[in-house]
Amino acid sequence: MSTQLLDKVRYWSEHQCFDSETREHAKRMLQENNQKEIEECFKNVLEFGTGGLRGPMGIGTNRMNRYTVMQATEGLARVIEAQGSGTKNGNSYSGVVIGYDSRNQSKQFAEAAAEVLCAHKIQVFLFSEIAPTPLVSCELIRRSAQAAVIITASHNPPSDNGYKVYWSHGGQIIPPVDEAIIQEVKKISRIEEIPYMELSEAKKTGLLQYIGEEADQYYIDLVAPMALGSKDANKKLGVIYSPFHGTGGRMVPKLLELRNFERLKTVSEQMVPNGDFPTLPSPNPEDPKAFGLALEKANDDDDMILTNDPDADRLGVMVRGKNRDWQWLNGNLIGVLLLDQMLSSLQKTGGLPPNGVLVTTIVTSPLMSKVARFYGLEVIQTLTGFKWIRDAALRAEQSGNNLFSVWKKAMVTSAETTLEIKTESGQPWPLRNSELRLRLRKKPLLINLT
């Protein structure tokens, strides 16, 4: 091992800026001369990429931990200061919203980010409990904040965590903001250079405010009117829901109950937030194997299973097929059917927007664009990633278009529309898909149900 690498480990084992547990772990690495672990944890730096950080948790420069989170947040704070917002020199920052999911260490990482931002005199709005990513993004816009930090690794394994940055428009950062943060992070060579303020002190000074259940109610009031189906018809559908030990349990059951889904039942074991995801092979709703426990709970009269990943920005669906067998739906099929349901409902009521636009990505099924054009919408295609969708949507709105929808992956409100496709049509989903193909009047595109 190189002297430079060993010096890096010694720094983590000796400097008082690191907590005692971290120092002891680094000392053991040196004493045991554990070359493999040392190289994995310290040889490289966990890079702040275009969306933030993501990787395994542990000590060292190449792991998600309190100190790499502080480093990323210091870069963010410097960029916010450089843009002229803040309480320095008499100015007033609009603030940063911080949310986190149910993963191990997520709350601690969120608090570390808050400590650094408050040390820069940046107002912080910190969720007091775990929160779905769409809720955090909504709160960012509601508070007219400059940015949001979300601690999550989406559907990754339990050993991972991540750090995502959202900007004032409500979407993830894109150039030049992400590039500016990356450059600032690279300038930080020593952890002790990073200022931080104890949260107790930040609360006394008013720099730290906690976000409670008022955010939930605002979100519910915002999205509930978006539902298009009949509340009476919803009573008939047997639905099973699981948040996969994550944040979706905070919001989704409330929304569905408001829409009269009286036969809703939850997978109780998976309603409990747990960063180990003990009942799952993977907390990924795009993996049919993750539906195992929900399938065990299903009775003959249950019609549909809905699941979310830990930060509730992905929706998984299983439905009864023509012969009442369970079928898993891939993301593209969910998106196509949701889009057709919404557009056909608006067409019936005369609510299709003039100059309507659908924003999608280069990896989305081409049938999405076909459906949108069938209803007279313009289609804007962008790069993969919701941050690019959000950017394209903003530009479309600024050009005078009526943004109807964006699509990359289904979020919390998609669960409701998914259910209402079934209650309104009364058909198994594969038949609904066949009906859609016929209405498009052209050669159908094959969609694989499994």
Which residues contact residue 114 at a Cβ distance below 8 angstroms, ignoring those fewer than 6 apart? 98, 124, 126, 199, 202, 208
Show the tokens assigned to 370.
Answer: 């076909």
| Residue 302 DSSP SS3 | coil
Cα separation, 150 vs 164, whole angstroms? 5
| 49, 74, 77 from 83: Cα distances, Å | 20, 14, 10
Which residues contact residue 395 at a Cβ distance below 8 angstroms, ignoring those fewer than 6 apart? none
| 26, 40, 170, 236, 317 from 32: Cα distances, Å | 10, 15, 47, 63, 48
| DSSP string for residues in 41-108 | IIIS-----SSEEEEEBSSSTTSBSHHHHHHHHHHHHHHHHHTT-SSGGG-----EEEEE-SSTTHHH
Contact 310, 155 (CB under 8 A): yes
Show the tokens assigned to 373.
Answer: 């054009």
Active-site residue among 154, 242, 405, 414?
154
Cα separation, 317 vs 323, whole angstroms? 17
Instruction: Verify whether residue 102 is a known catalytic residue.
Output: no
CB atoms inside a 10 Å sphere around CB 265: 16
Residues forming the active site? 154
